């Protein structure tokens, strides 16, 4: 818990967006779209709330953060660098042989990463295990999980949703990055999910829907999660895939495509980097 | 110059060509752009079923379609087919329903996505299922040809394709390619190198290098791992008296496992396995991965010399 102000968090998110563009550009691969959509929530969580120690990343009683949509790793790496878990030079190792920044977040490779993801639909169950462990330990630590809106099409998500409510896991907190796009296309074309908040409600969760790019709303929602103690809580962030870079915004092509040299230059100038 | 192509493109072309058969249907799990079923989807949306990101559901939807007389082709990354392994086992293999599953981006050659995306066990696990035919072709031409033969198979299949480009070997030689029949690409007497997928090209390079050292190697493209071409294997054991297998897959249970299981029961000869040695991969380029995992042509030729030295 570092207690950063709203404007500080916004500035952190801007810097992270720059790194996301640079990392994917350097690797000429990776997933900028879902990294840019999740980044405001990630910055708020790390900068405002998460109890974790960059100088002791394996501290037993830390809150856990599980990026279940593990392809959006550039966002996570950028935040870990801002928070001091890894260095800014480490970001250059994204998708490079031997690098701490593996293609998908990997707990065996990168300090501060709590789960090796990359296969969708696994993180919520893992988070549930972390929550139960905290309860047995008598610890107040939380498990936070971030999933994508395409990811919640996986059946395993709903197995975990049902089980977490059954076990009244008040220390399990979920974010859904609702950017409306998955791999091939818009979610609307691939698999309509109808009323997402109603589904989580029906599964027994406390539900809040927010603008996932409005820093004050995100911070309040994270505080609200702390007030829910008798059941799992989910914050559904309405986001824009590729947020912050005009040609990536709401564009399915930038789910898994890197910016070219020219595109990087445009992106950086839009993000306030002076040439 | 040799044309370079990815086997997944051969799969995509085959689906499109198969569309004339009104019973052919395509199932997707949000990776059609990657597995290349997207071409079929564009041309025949009415016969394409989007299952969202839901591999388990996809396979059993396929089983239901197959039981109703349709010929379903389902695809996702090789690694994510594995999530639906039990669906494949109990819902498809056991009732022997002709669902054709394609796992793209197989092996460590898939590269910088890293270990979560690099399936190195798919051939092994699907090979254990009764009724299931298991294939891993080496170029786009043979992938297309083998896929075209699947509607006539009448039983389930699993085919691994690769993400990245490799040299095309079978341009204009489609008639050589038959499910279940290994193809001898180079004839030699001292050692038989039996390879599949992206390592077929490496095996041919190894044979060329061995030739310059006076060692003559046979190279076989064993694109079908099950049923295994045991007739060819027996003749190679007798002729060469030494075998090297090569695959971008764990040395446990894949092509190497299948070959070893057979030859010990028939004509045992010394054997070496080139494959991933019981470890996970990591993020690196395709060529870097082959080098790191010990799968390059020089690893194959070293193994050939080693196995020849062990001949009685
Ligand atoms: C089990 C599984 N199936 C398929 C994939 C391939 N895949 C990677 S990202 C992706 C789309 C994810 O969409 P979403 O969850 O909405 O992520 P975001 O939009 O936040 O990037 C898919 C299908 C995977 N990683 N895991
Ligand atoms: Mg999405």
Pair A161, A236: CB distance under 8 Å: no
Q: A200 Cβ partners below 8 Å, 6+ apart?
A: A161, A207, A234, A236
The confidence score (pLDDT) of residue A274 equals 82
Is residue A153 less than 8 Å (CB to CB) from chain B?
yes
Hey, are the CB atoms on A118 and B117 less than 8 Å from each other? yes
**Which residue range is the domain that position A32 belongs to?**
6-270
Mutation choice for A interface testing from B283, B285, B291, B293 by most A CBs within 10 A: B283
Token pair recorded at residue A273: 């980097």
Q: Is B5 left (phi over 0), alpha (psi -120 to 50) or beta?
A: beta
Pocket residue to mutate for ligand 1, from A124, A148, A184, most atoms within 8 A of Cβ: A148
Q: Among A151, A183, A189, whose Cβ lies nearest the Cβ of B31?
A: A183
- Kindly write down the DSSP assignment for every residue of A103-148, as one continuous string: SS--TTTSTT--S---STT-HHHHHHHHHHHHHHHT----EEEEEE
Q: What pLDDT tens digit does each residue of chain A (275 aa) get?
A: 458 999 999 999 999 999 999 999 999 999 999 999 999 999 999 999 999 999 999 999 999 999 999 999 999 999 999 999 999 999 999 999 999 999 999 999 999 999 999 999 999 999 999 999 999 999 999 999 999 999 999 999 999 999 999 999 999 999 999 999 999 999 999 999 999 999 999 999 999 999 999 999 999 999 999 999 999 999 999 999 999 999 999 999 999 999 999 999 999 999 999 86
- Cβ contact B284–A97 (<8 Å): yes
The total of structural domains in chain A comes to 1
Is the domain spanning B183-309 CATH 3.40.50.920? The answer is yes
- The Cα–Cα gap between B140 and B133 comes to 19
pLDDT, tens digit (0-9, with 9 covering 90-100), for B225-265: 999 999 999 999 999 999 999 999 999 999 999 999 999 99
Q: Distance of CA B51 to CAs A172, B62, B119, Å?
A: 29, 10, 22
The reply to whether ligand 1 has any atom less than 6 angstroms from the CB of A177 is yes
From the alpha carbon of A147, which atom of ligand 1 is closest? Answer: 15
Kindly report the protein residue whose alpha carbon is nearest to atom 16 of ligand 1: A150
**CA–centroid distance for A75 within its chain:** 7
Shortest-distance atom of ligand 1 to CA A152:
15
Q: Is A179's C-beta closer than 6 angstroms to any atom of ligand 1?
A: yes
CB-nearest partner of A116 from B31, B80, B116:
B116
From B34, B52, B114, residue closest to A102, measured CB to CB: B114
Q: Are strands A233-238 and A206-211 parallel, antiparallel or unpaired?
A: parallel
The dihedrals phi and psi of A209, each to the nearest 5 degrees, come to -110, 130
Please, which residues have CB within 8 angstroms of residue A255's CB and are 6 or more apart in sequence? A31, A33, A34, A181, A182, A183, A241
Q: Given this model, what pLDDT does residue A2 score?
A: 59
Cα separation of B276 and A136, whole Å? 40
Residue A215 covered by a domain: yes
Q: Name A182's Cβ contacts closer than 8 Å, sequence gap at least 6.
A: A148, A149, A150, A153, A190, A191, A255, B30, B52, B53
Q: Do B80 and A96 touch (CB under 8 A)?
A: no
CB A153 within 8 A of CB A188: no
Reported in sequence order, the residue ranges of chain B that DSSP labels E, i.e. its strands, are: 4-5, 24-28, 48-50, 71-77, 100-104, 133-135, 157-160, 166-167, 183-186, 191-195, 217-221, 224-226, 243-250, 271-276
Name the residue ranges covered by the structural domains of chain B.
Answer: 4-167, 183-309
CATH superfamily for domain B4-167? Thiamin diphosphate (ThDP)-binding fold, Pyr/PP domains (3.40.50.970)
pLDDT of residue A163: 98
Low-confidence ranges of chain B (pLDDT < 70): none
- CATH number of the domain enclosing A93: 3.40.50.970
CB neighbourhood size of A125 (10 A): 18
Residue owning the nearest CA to atom 22 of ligand 1: A183
- Distance (Å, rounded) from C-alpha A130 to C-alpha A62? 11
């Amino acid at each position: 818990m570092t207690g950063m102000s709203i404007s500080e968090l916004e500035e952190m998110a801007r810097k992270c967006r720059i790194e996301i563009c640079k990392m994917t550009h350097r690797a000429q691969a990776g997933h900028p779209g879902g990294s840019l959509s999740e980044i405001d929530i990630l910055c708020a969580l790390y900068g405002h709330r998460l109890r974790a120690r960059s100088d002791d990343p394996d501290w037993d009683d830390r809150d856990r953060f599980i990026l279940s949509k593990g392809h959006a790793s550039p966002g996570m790496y950028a935040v870990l660098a801002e928070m001091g878990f890894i260095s800014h030079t480490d970001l250059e190792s994204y998708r490079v042989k031997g690098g701490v920044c593996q293609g998908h977040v990997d707990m065996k490779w990168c300090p501060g990463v709590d789960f090796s993801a990359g296969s969708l639909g696994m993180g919520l169950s893992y988070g549930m295990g972390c929550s139960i462990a905290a309860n047995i330990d008598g610890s107040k630590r939380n498990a936070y999980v971030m999933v994508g809106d395409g990811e919640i099409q996986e059946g395993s998500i709903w197995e975990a949703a049902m089980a977490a409510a059954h076990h009244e896991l008040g220390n399990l907190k979920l974010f859904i990055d609702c950017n409306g796009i998955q791999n091939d296309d818009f979610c609307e074309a691939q698999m309509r999910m109808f009323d997402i908040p109603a589904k989580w409600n029906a599964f027994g969760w406390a539900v809040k829907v927010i603008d996932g790019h409005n820093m004050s709303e995100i911070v309040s929602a994270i505080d609200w999660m702390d007030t829910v103690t008798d059941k799992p809580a989910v914050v559904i962030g309405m986001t824009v895939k590729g947020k912050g870079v005009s040609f990536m915004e709401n564009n399915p092509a930038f789910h898994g495509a890197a910016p070219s040299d020219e595109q990087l230059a445009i992106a950086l100038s839009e993000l306030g980097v002076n040439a | 110059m040799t044309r370079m192509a990815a086997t997944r493109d051969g799969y995509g072309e085959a689906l499109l060509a198969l569309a004339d058969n009104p019973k052919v249907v395509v199932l997707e799990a949000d990776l059609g752009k990657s597995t290349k079923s997207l071409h079929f989807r564009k041309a025949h949306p009415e016969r394409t079923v989007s299952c969202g990101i839901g591999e388990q559901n996809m396979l059993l939807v396929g089983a239901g379609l197959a039981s109703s007389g349709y010929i379903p082709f389902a695809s996702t990354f090789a690694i994510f087919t594995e999530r639906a392994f039990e669906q494949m086992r109990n819902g498809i293999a056991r009732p022997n329903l002709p669902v054709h599953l394609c796992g793209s981006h197989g092996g460590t050659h898939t590269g910088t996505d890293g270990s979560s995306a690099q399936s190195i066990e798919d051939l092994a696990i699907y090979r254990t299922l009764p009724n299931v035919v298991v294939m891993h072709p080496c170029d786009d031409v043979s992938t297309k040809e083998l896929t075209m033969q699947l509607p006539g198979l009448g039983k389930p299949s699993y085919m691994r394709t690769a993400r990245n480009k490799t040299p095309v070997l079978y341009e204009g030689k489609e008639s050589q390619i038959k499910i279940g029949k290994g193809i001898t690409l180079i004839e030699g007497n001292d050692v038989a190198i039996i390879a599949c997928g992206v390592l077929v090209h490496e095996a041919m390079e190894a044979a060329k290098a061995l030739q310059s050292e006076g060692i003559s190697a046979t190279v076989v493209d064993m694109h079908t791992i099950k049923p295994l071409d045991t007739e060819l294997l027996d003749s190679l054991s007798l002729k060469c008296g030494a075998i090297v297998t090569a695959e971008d897959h764990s040395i446990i249970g894949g092509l190497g496992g299948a070959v070893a299981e057979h030859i010990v029961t028939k004509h045992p000869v010394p054997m070496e396995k080139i494959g991933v040695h019981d470890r996970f991969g990591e993020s690196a380029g395709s060529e870097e991965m082959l080098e790191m995992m010990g799968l390059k042509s020089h690893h194959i030729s070293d193994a050939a010399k080693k196995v020849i030295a062990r001949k009685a």
